[in-house]
Structure 1
Amino acid sequence: MTTTLPSPSSLLPVRLRLVPPGSGPHLVDGAWWPRSEDLTVELPRLVGALPHSWPQIAHATVNAALWSSFPGRLLVANHVIELHHAAGRCTAETICLLAPGSGRWDLLVVPPGTDRAEALRLLSAADGDASSTRGSLFPHVSAHGA
């Protein structure tokens, strides 16, 4: 019998910072710093790290160019998440998580190769002024994602 051990990166905590609930409207609901460009590895880890109070995520909209693979759907925790290409309100630097009838959450994606100090600053700023967070990592993008 063969045993498959988890990869060392799968044992590391998910680098995620969420805006505190009830803290008012924000352009983004938090920030996520994935460890790799493999969406098939990173998305299940992200979904597993979300608060238990969040409903089941059914759709994720991302910029496919940021990821090494982009399947049309992904099995996560025994349910399928449909993947969509970013367009409209979902901009290149965010991931939009959707639970139909329950809510939508937009997270700033800090690219995996970002310098640690800069990434930690962006994660910390995620619960503050989202427009300054977005502008510092993506200076060519306006605060409204245009």
Structure 2
Amino acid sequence: MTTSPPHPLPSPPALRLRLAPRIGVPRPIDGAWWPRSYDLPAELPALLRGLPRAWGDITSVTVSGATWSHVPDRILVADRTVRLHRALAASAPDTVVLLAPGQGRWDLLVVPPDTAEETAGALMAAAVDPPG
């Protein structure tokens, strides 16, 4: 009897994230993230795992309550608890704010999941272009 080798597990989809270059000048937006859905508990772990190590351990994330319908109080990512906050004010409905104690704050533009690829690419590129 012969056995066939096990099929490899499919790779998770690539993280759709672009970060602005660090140029020493404060920026209103540090990058752009294009999630595949509005399911924050499903999308956020991949984002946090894909961030630069220099950003430190993100312990708090704030999202727009108008954009993300289900926001639990916390999620577990890489054996760490990340607190989630839902901002009720619509001051920045298309951003996510990441905080790492002692490291800093990063604001990412959130490109809506249903955005066409060409449009999403243009929005992400514009978000990370150096200020001019």
Amino acid aligned to 2:14:
P
Structure 1: where are the runs of 5+ without partners? 131-146
TM-score, scaled relative to structure 2: 0.83
Q: Which residue of 2 aligns with 1:135?
A: none
In 2 relative to 1, CA 60–113 (structure 1 residues): closer, same or farther, beyond 3 Å? same
Q: Which residue of 1 aligns with 2:85?
A: 84
The within-5 A match list for 1:20-99 is: 20-86=21-87, 91-99=92-100
The percentage of aligned residue pairs carrying the same residue is 48
| Rg comparison, structure with higher value | 2
Distance in 2 separating the partners of 1:125 and 1:54: 22
CA RMSD of aligned residues (A): 2.3
Distance in 2 separating the partners of 1:55 and 1:90: 26
Conserved 8 A contact 1:90-1:96: no
Distance in 1 separating the partners of 2:91 and 2:76: 22
Q: Which residue of 2 aligns with 1:133?
A: none
Richer in helix (by share): 1
The Cα shift of 1:17 comes to 0.5
Instruction: Name the SS of the counterpart of 1:53 in structure 2.
Output: helix
In 2 relative to 1, CA 93–129 (structure 1 residues): closer, same or farther, beyond 3 Å? farther
The Cα shift of 1:64 comes to 2.7
CA deviation map 1:40-81 (0-9, x unaligned) = 111000001101222000000001332342101010110011
In 2 relative to 1, CA 29–46 (structure 1 residues): closer, same or farther, beyond 3 Å? same
Out of 83-92 and 54-63, give the one that drifted further: 83-92
Distance in 1 separating the partners of 2:75 and 2:88: 20
Instruction: Name the SS of the counterpart of 2:47 in structure 1.
Output: helix
Distance in 1 separating the partners of 2:58 and 2:22: 18
In 2 relative to 1, CA 26–88 (structure 1 residues): closer, same or farther, beyond 3 Å? farther
Aligned length: 124
Conserved 8 A contact 1:15-1:34: yes
Conserved 8 A contact 1:58-1:100: yes
